[in-house]
Amino acid sequence: GLTEIGEIKAGETLVVSGAAGATGSVVCQIGKIIGAKVIAIAGSDDKCQWLEQEVGVDKALNYKSPDFAKEFKQSVGYLDVYFDNVGGEILDLCLSRLNKNARIVMCGAISAYNDTKPRGLQNYLSLIGQRAKMQGFIVMDYGARFGEARQKLAEWLAAGKLKRRFHIEKGLEGAPQYLNHLFEGKNTGKLLVQVSSRGNSKL
């Protein structure tokens, strides 16, 4: 999504929402590997600290901060690529800060999945004025290239260019509650459910 739809280039400004999650944190790191300026958006100061100190983004912003919009404009200026995992108000804010020929990768809209009345966008006309592109991304559309992607990711991991973090919960009986962690922003990194310890497994 970042390279095929976002067409990110060295020196461009990349903004990533849901940046402390499994997808967002990898997107941030690929952006840095390519040479982009990366601004990450997350939902807590701890997540922002992890993104800056461990993941290596240029700046991480807590969207729950009362000064978020001001800090966003100061840090971003105008963006070239926005990788969207959340939708809603953050998407609208990014639409107001587009460079000419900006690209928006629509990967998810987790802030809006449970809305009974979807929120309309206010700044969508910026797409016209800035000649911008906004396109959906479904990973399964790129199944033919999974092998290529695995090889490249493995190379980056081996070289220490990609960092991973796992949020592990124990017990399959709690899976519905753990799923809600995604919507509540309680996880940092990849959320996994440990079904049982290896010693107790009957498989």
Q: Are residues 181 and 148 in the same domain?
A: no
Question: Quick one: 154 and 172 in the same domain?
Answer: no
Section 102-106 average pLDDT? 97
On whether residue 6 sits in a domain, the answer given is: no
pTM score of the predicted model: 0.81
Going by C-alpha positions, the residue among 80, 16, 70 that lies closest to residue 48 is 16
CATH code at position 110: 3.40.50.720
Domain count, the chain: 2
Residue 30 has pLDDT above 60, yes or no: yes
Domain, as residue range, for 185: 166-200
pLDDT at 130 over 90: yes
Q: Classify 189 in phi/psi space as left (phi over 0), alpha (psi -120 to 50) or beta.
A: left
